[in-house]
Amino acid sequence: MECISINHKTAKSSDRQRCFVPKEEMKDFLKEIMNLDKVEQCVLLSTCNRTEIYVQGEENCFKELQELMAKTAGNDGQWIKSLSRRYQGRKAILHLFRVVCGMESMVIGEDEILGQVRDAYMCSMEAGYTGCELNSVFQAALACAKRVKSDTMISKSSVSVATLAANEVFHLSIPQKTVLLIGSSGQMGGIILKNLLSQENIRVIATVRSHNGIYQSGNPRVENVDYQNRYDYLNEADVVISATSSPHYTLMAEKVKSSIITPKERLFLDISMPPDIDENIAGIECCRLISLDDINRLAEENNRRKEQALMDAEEILEEDLDMICKVLAFHRFTEAEAGWKERYGGWTAEKLIYLLRDELDSDSFEAVLRVLRCVD
């Protein structure tokens, strides 16, 4: 198994944006990965903070993966090489486990990544692009993440990019706040809306697409308006949050400037990838823009508070990682050694192998299997 990763630790948001694969292009990109000579199985994960390809096949396909990502980003291989990280074998499995458990997230312990990985895996599996190895690894990683979230404090304080964005609204020192929320019907927007409504002094103007109809939240503090009319509500808004999956800007600087009549401080929060809000809005008088890169800095304090929970999660992860490595080693052994049960003593040998698998760590168990292969 091998993984190529470009993430918030290796690349700034503008570079991650170029590598981002929108949902509607996911299937075509997966086909391109599978068309590579050395790839037999693959899963593609692409979020606002990371684009990663997990493959199983012949060794040394990293260069081909780099070239494919460079082509998608419209740049050369050297540029991708400066941003990407390579993980192989056990390290690739470990990286996946850490990603799914929220340990590699911008906000440690955030909940969205579990669903994002599950969706990415299901997309590949339903397309027929996964097999025994990737199925086993991804299912084990998802199960480990659920165990980490239930048995540690890593996710007990419900902090994510969405909740950090809501916290920025809460910190504003005005008694009554009006928030224009663009993208309220999406997953991220829905979380933000729920968080905003947890405080009584916040009124939300939520945009919806006209072709989807008007969604009624049932909350008198939520006013639903047509997305096409979003600029009409900028003047009364104290905060503007955009959380869509649109490939284009939802707000342009010139139109924002002409729509604002009342002079007052306004906060713009952009938590989308690719970015929703024209960065030139930060240059408009009394307008402050917070982007994903700024959210990263806000996340650092949250991550420091979770250091003990992270250590607890590491223990669980190591247990589950060791088990899946033994499962994979045993699977490879049985595939390579046809008739191994009869050769080594029938059911007694099988019982012994399973006992050794349960009692030994993965390195020791793999050493036993290597010895058995040498026995004639």
Q: Give residue-wise pLDDT tens across range 22-68.
A: 889 999 999 999 999 889 999 999 998 899 999 998 777 888 898 89
Asked if pLDDT for residue 310 goes beyond 50, the answer is yes
Q: Measured between alpha carbons, how far is 291 from 268 in angstroms, rounded to an integer?
A: 8
Contacts of residue 354, defined as CB under 8 A and 6 or more positions apart, other chains included, come to none
Q: Which of 37-51, 222-236, 252-266, 305-319 has the lowest mean pLDDT?
A: 305-319
Share of the chain above pLDDT 70, in %: 93
Mean pLDDT of the chain: 87
Asked if pLDDT for residue 269 goes beyond 60, the answer is yes
Residue 178 φ/ψ, nearest 5 degrees: -110, 125
Tokens of 363: 């390195």
Bridging pattern class, strands 2-7 and 50-57: antiparallel
Asked if pLDDT for residue 153 goes beyond 50, the answer is yes
Q: Residues 202-230: what's their mean pLDDT?
A: 78
Compute the residue count for the chain.
376
Asked if pLDDT for residue 210 goes beyond 70, the answer is no
Task: Give the model's pLDDT for residue 235.
Answer: 95
In CATH terms, the fold of domain 2-148 is Beta Polymerase; domain 2 (3.30.460)
3-state secondary structure at position 90: helix
Q: How far is CA 361 from the centre of its chain?
A: 30
Q: Measured between alpha carbons, how far is 65 from 71 in angstroms, rounded to an integer?
A: 10
Q: Which of 184, 174, 158 is nearest to 267 (CA)?
A: 174
Q: How confident is the model at residue 211 (pLDDT cuts 50, 70, 90)?
A: very low
Q: Residues 348-369: what's their mean pLDDT?
A: 86
Q: Measured between alpha carbons, how far is 209 from 324 in angstroms, rounded to an integer?
A: 45
Share of the chain above pLDDT 90, in %: 53
Q: Identify which of 37-41, 151-155, 292-296, 332-336 has the greatest average pLDDT.
A: 37-41
Task: Give the model's pLDDT for residue 216.
Answer: 47
Q: Which of 30-39, 158-167, 210-219, 227-236 has the lowest mean pLDDT?
A: 210-219
Q: How confident is the model at residue 345 (pLDDT cuts 50, 70, 90)?
A: low
Residue type, 100: V
Asked if pLDDT for residue 182 goes beyond 80, the answer is yes
Asked if pLDDT for residue 267 goes beyond 90, the answer is yes
Q: Measured between alpha carbons, how far is 316 from 155 in angstroms, rounded to an integer?
A: 14
- Domain boundaries defined on the chain: 2-148, 161-295
pTM (predicted TM-score)? 0.71
In CATH terms, the fold of domain 161-295 is Rossmann fold (3.40.50)
Task: Give the model's pLDDT for residue 13.
Answer: 84
Domains 2-148 and 161-295 share a fold: no
Q: Which of 105, 95, 139 is nearest to 121 (CA)?
A: 139
Q: How far is CA 372 from the centre of its chain?
A: 40
